[in-house]
A and B are shown apart, each in its own frame.
Chain A
Amino acid sequence: QVQLQESGPGLVQPSGTLSLTCAVSGASYSGSELWSWVRQAPGKGLEWIGQIYHGGRADYSPSLWSRVTISLDKSKNQFSLRLKFVTAADTAVYYCARRNRGFCGGGSCIPNAFDIWGQGTMVTVSS
């Protein structure tokens, strides 16, 4: 079955760049997937960061778009998040997730939902 696993530094300096990678296993790239990043600050709710389509187009949260880049490397079965100029407010658990379009192109999925999540990785912004 499809599995996602986040990796990257757990500590980032203020004003630096947060970089995370999500390894994808067991998935096919059928075009129905939107590979996504979601974060959750300590004690807070879920916040959508952005998503990337099969063809490479990306959508970003209006509150983060000026600082965020999501990229997809299908040859390595992974997608990545870069968030620039981080502050303490960016301290959070970062999840990678598969979101689906209105159809399931290959294998089973839950259409229109985030149906597969990584376990999450805690990133702290501190000097």
Chain B
Amino acid sequence: NFMLTQPHSVSESPGKTVTISCTRSSGSIASNFVQWYQQRPGSSPTTVIYEDSQRPSGVPDRFSGSIDTSSNSASLSISGLKTDDEADYYCQSSDGTTVAFGGGTKLNVL
């Protein structure tokens, strides 16, 4: 089994850039793709990044993803922050047969 650890919350001002980390506890972060989901209160999650760094159609290029094997972590960066970006963000990966989500990060855009 493996776990994904995210910061509980991050805060940043509109127009700035924020980065949310996701650290894998065991196994290489590069061994299985990482996805990122945005969830607004009362709504189902939606995909903002898939396969480490790919953006689905309709997701603005302000959203970007990457992995870092040296820290065994993935990152979601959002540039040009808008108040509408305020939401919970979850990373997700697998080990082939099981799936794990990170604990979620609440993004506050102040």
Known: A48-B99, A62-B98, A99-B99. A114 touches B104 (CB 8 A): no
Q: Is the CB of A45 within 8 A of B98?
A: no
Q: Which of A98-124 contact B (CB under 8 A)?
A: 99, 110-115, 117-120
Tell me, yes or no, whether A95 is within 8 Å of chain B by CB. yes
| Size range of the chain A interface in the assembly | 20 to 34
| Size range of the chain B interface in the assembly | 20 to 34
Chain B minimum-CB-distance residue to A61: B98
Chain A residues positioned under 8 Å from B99 (CB to CB) = 36, 48, 51, 61, 99
Q: Which of B14-22, B23-31, B43-51, B71-79 contacts A (4 or more CB under 8 A)?
A: B43-51
Q: Which of B34-90 contact A (CB under 8 A)?
A: 35, 37, 39, 44-47, 50-51, 56, 88, 90
In-complex Cβ contact of A48 among B46, B101, B104 (8 A): B101
CB distance from A63 to the nearest CB of B (A): 9
Total A-B residue contacts, Cβ distance less than 8 Å: 58
CB distance from A93 to the nearest CB of B (A): 9
Chain A residues positioned under 8 Å from B103 (CB to CB) = 45
Tell me, yes or no, whether A46 is within 8 Å of chain B by CB. yes
CB distance from A79 to the nearest CB of B (A): 16
Chain A minimum-CB-distance residue to B55: A110
Chain A residues positioned under 8 Å from B44 (CB to CB) = 95, 117-120
A-side residues, CB < 8 A to B, are: 36, 38, 45-48, 51, 59-62, 95, 99, 110-115, 117-120
